[in-house]
Structure 1
């Protein structure tokens, strides 16, 4: 882990309201949420994701794509745990990935928010999104991510819906639909 202030993220399975049989395994009864954590200098990321409260969390899609994008930003996977879903004999891998700085965190956050609005992993659209986020102006990126974080902190029951509007706005603004 690099020195200074950094961020980490991991995936957590939360129970769906009703099963979705389009998926197999854990995704048929659970939905993956991505959770971001702030890390101080010298703090163990594996311990921090257990002890600390998340900075932001929302429903995520395409977990492998999000981990791959984190590597493009200079992030590294520091650990993987096998987690059993309560009440079922199903397991999933919970990776902990560390992002090196705040700009990488905000790029990853905006990418994850926008990717969560897509229904299927169409390679061309997600590759266009990837190149857009990597080349986006840091000031504009900061504004969009601050809007998403403020909407998460609002404690509104529909806050996840309001957060996803930031991702939908990026898709509409850059014609990625």
Structure 2
């Protein structure tokens, strides 16, 4: 059994079918790419799998548990984590503070990182640790989003448009 399973996933927005009968099996030790043109449903698939949008039909299972439509916050607590196309942060906090918040959450379940500084170094943001997140250029905000996602020590990390805005 795969760690993440989707069966017959369907998502409709009014009369528009964005996903139609999608099946997927992903293990935590795999690197999988989902490729398609703009508007083909890649982000919608992530949104359904991670509870951002409810599935119209089908099921999502994570580590053998049905997580279909249980909500994004509950899914994230299970360490199934995703990044977003749009850079997200606490704009009034420093880069370090943003990562530290995620790292503190990750520590509760056993962090893979000794400190937030290690994460910042890994994503190339160590020199910007004291910068206010809201002042960062887009590419650095994207790196910050990755750092925050890594900070919670996910079992599986879904990266939406991971290369967008990165130099």
- TM-score under structure 2 normalisation? 0.25
- TM-score under structure 1 normalisation? 0.24
